[in-house]
Amino acid sequence: MTFSTNADAEARARPPAQHPADVPLAPRYAALGGAYHVTVAPTPLPSPTLVHFNAGLADELGLSATQASDLTDILSGNASWPNYAPLASVYAGHQFGNWNPQLGDGRALMIAEIRRPDGTRAELQLKGAGPTPFSRGADGRAVLRSSIREYLCSEAMHALGVPTTRCLSLVTSPQPVFRETVEPAAIVCRVAPSFVRFGHFEWFYSRGQHDALAPLADHVIETHFPHLVGLPDRHAAWLGEVIERTARLIAHWQTVGFCHGVMNTDNFSALGLTLDYGPFGFMDAFRQHHVCNQSDFEGRYAYGAQPEIGQWNCSRLLQATLPLLGETEEEVGARATELYGRYSETFSVTVMRRWADKLGLREIRPGDADLVIRLLTLMQRGKSDFTRSFRHLARVQTDTDGPAIGVREEMADLAAFDAWVADYRSRLRAEGNTNDAERAERMNRVNPKYILRNHLAQMAIERAEEGDFSEVERLMTVLARPFDAQPEFEGYAAEPPPDQRRIEVSCSS
């Protein structure tokens, strides 16, 4: 939602823009002032090559896809958006549970705040555009490897219906960047309604600059939660919505098998978006304790730990915004406690509804949680593919008591799975859910056939590093329709080959 003004109506009435100079600016974050950000010019990227331009997103932003080549200078940091000074914001955060008092946009620059043709607002950010005052001695660059992963995954998540930042473009350069090895540089243009993070509030709270909290919170509220504007308890109401959005987000992660990998508070969005794709991964074989980040030695951000970490991060946001919750210690404590409790309530309801949808259940009844847990236990025992197993469940027929052909092939303990299928069929029949074709259609709308598996991303990376960007384009096509059968791309729904099942991803980028 956005705050409706006459300017919004005028923007909606205008025809789609064709060039950045024609796109109306909406510099609300920049207007907050120097306490929140610094102006920084991007470092030019030599000999930039446009790897991919997201034509669909460009249309939504009011940019013409035919202008992609003309935009390359801006998207590579070699030119500025007309009439906008790029800026880097400051924030802090808890990284792997440890407090870091100053982080900030060390390699990201906001290059524009614009109004879309539909009147909504978007911020554009270049990731990998060179050092800023918050780089802490680093080069401020990103590499092609991680940039391809972020570009593909943000759009894959969007197609899955998961709230997320998005990507407009991916540019590379022969400029060498030194990580574990020498890699080509790259810049992603990320797009979001806002890039404000939990860590922004932690920064000001930790420094005792409590008078800076309300202006930042009000900026977020006025721009993205307009229904709360003017309410005397607007800050508490906003925090409640952020906490609930975060709980719903992580419930969505859990039920598509997505692991974030770096769930630091500086990587959590004040709008409940998936933010900062670093060492992420979709699970292949299901493991409750799957860890996608090889740098996460203790498994803090394992798949099964994500719900708890989400609530812990919300507690850090509440701590940082205590000065906004009331006048007395008793009032503040009562509100914070109530808000904290909303996370678990929202997560429990949302995740159970999503599991039920994945099983094709219309209602949620006692015993359904046990049905889900038993299935996940069987999948873990047999190292069954998470995505394929749920997708194939749509083939279960209720008019027979025989083996679930086409489904049980994913399982190792066939006797235990057959017993589970018998209970599953009984559960479906109990609610009159016996129209198998209709149920299969519903299940296939929530259980994807295609996800961004690590081996698919790696194939695109290796070809791109050789100058062949066709696999990036192909994956963008496949992942844009994750729930649809695409016979021409059937191989992309397969399990990874045995030698590609242990691809590891680190924090280096």
pLDDT per position as a tens digit, 300-338: 999 999 999 999 999 999 999 999 999 899 999 999 999
Catalytic residue among 105, 218, 266, 385: 266
Q: How confident is the model over 200-225, as pLDDT tens digits? A: 999 999 999 999 999 999 999 999 99
Is the domain of 129 the same as that of 12?
Answer: yes
d(CA 329, CA 115): 41
For residue 361, with 0-12 CB atoms within 10 Å meaning exposed, 13-18 middle and 19 or more buried, which class applies?
Answer: buried
Is the domain of 152 the same as that of 270?
Answer: no
Of the pLDDT bands very low, low, confident and very high (cuts 50, 70, 90), residue 12 is very low
User: Is 83 contained in some domain?
Assistant: yes
**Contact indicator for 156, 479 with CB cutoff of 8 Å:** yes
Rg (CA), the chain: 23
Angle at 133 between CA 130 and CA 139, to 5 degrees: 35
Question: What is the pLDDT, as a whole number, of residue 376?
Answer: 98
H-helix or E-strand spanning residue 336: helix 329-358
Per-residue pLDDT at 243 exceeds 80: yes
3-state SS track over 474-501: HHHHHHCCCCCCCHHHHHHHCCCCHHHC
Our answer to whether residue 266 is catalytic in this structure is yes
Question: What are the binding residues for ATP?
Answer: 104, 106-107, 127, 139-140, 190, 197, 276
d(CA 261, CA 278): 7
| Domain boundaries, position 494 | 359-456+475-509
Q: How confident is the model over 493-504, as pLDDT tens digits? A: 999 998 777 776
Per-residue pLDDT at 281 exceeds 70: yes
Point out the domain boundary residue: 351, 369, 397.
351
Of the pLDDT bands very low, low, confident and very high (cuts 50, 70, 90), residue 405 is confident
User: Is 464 contained in some domain?
Assistant: no
Point out the domain boundary residue: 164, 195, 226.
195
pLDDT > 90: what percent of the chain? 87
Is the domain of 86 the same as that of 30?
Answer: yes
For residue 31, with 0-12 CB atoms within 10 Å meaning exposed, 13-18 middle and 19 or more buried, which class applies?
Answer: exposed
Q: In a 3-state reduction of DSSP, which class is residue 406?
A: coil
Per-residue pLDDT at 5 exceeds 80: no
Is the domain of 19 the same as that of 111?
Answer: yes
- Which is nearest to 394 in space by CA: 436, 353, 426? 436
Q: How confident is the model over 49-59, as pLDDT tens digits? A: 999 999 999 99
Is the domain of 80 the same as that of 229?
Answer: no
User: Is 462 contained in some domain?
Assistant: no
Question: What are the binding residues for Mg(2+)?
Answer: 267, 276
User: Is 206 contained in some domain?
Assistant: no
Question: What is the pLDDT, as a whole number, of residue 506?
Answer: 65
Question: What is the pLDDT, as a whole number, of residue 302?
Answer: 97
Question: What are the binding residues?
Answer: 104, 106-107, 127, 139-140, 190, 197, 267, 276
User: Is 201 contained in some domain?
Assistant: no
| Average pLDDT along the chain | 93
Point out the domain boundary residue: 150, 167, 195.
195
Q: How confident is the model over 254-275, as pLDDT tens digits? A: 999 999 999 999 999 999 999 9
**Contact indicator for 16, 67 with CB cutoff of 8 Å:** no
d(CA 206, CA 322): 12
Of the pLDDT bands very low, low, confident and very high (cuts 50, 70, 90), residue 196 is very high
Per-residue pLDDT at 450 exceeds 90: yes
CA diameter of the chain: 69
User: Is 15 contained in some domain?
Assistant: yes
- Which is nearest to 110 in space by CA: 165, 55, 150? 165
Per-residue pLDDT at 448 exceeds 60: yes
Is the domain of 396 the same as that of 430?
Answer: yes
Per-residue pLDDT at 4 exceeds 70: no
Per-residue pLDDT at 455 exceeds 70: yes
- What is the 8-class DSSP label of residue 80? P
Is the domain of 242 the same as that of 174?
Answer: no
Is the domain of 445 the same as that of 501?
Answer: yes
Per-residue pLDDT at 9 exceeds 50: no
Angle at 21 between CA 20 and CA 27, to 5 degrees: 80
First to last CA, the chain: 34
Is the domain of 78 the same as that of 174?
Answer: yes
Name, in order, each residue with C-beta under 8 angstroms of 66's C-beta and a sequence gap of 6 or more.
18
Is the domain of 89 the same as that of 238?
Answer: no
Question: What is the pLDDT, as a whole number, of residue 15?
Answer: 54
User: Total domain count for the chain?
Assistant: 3
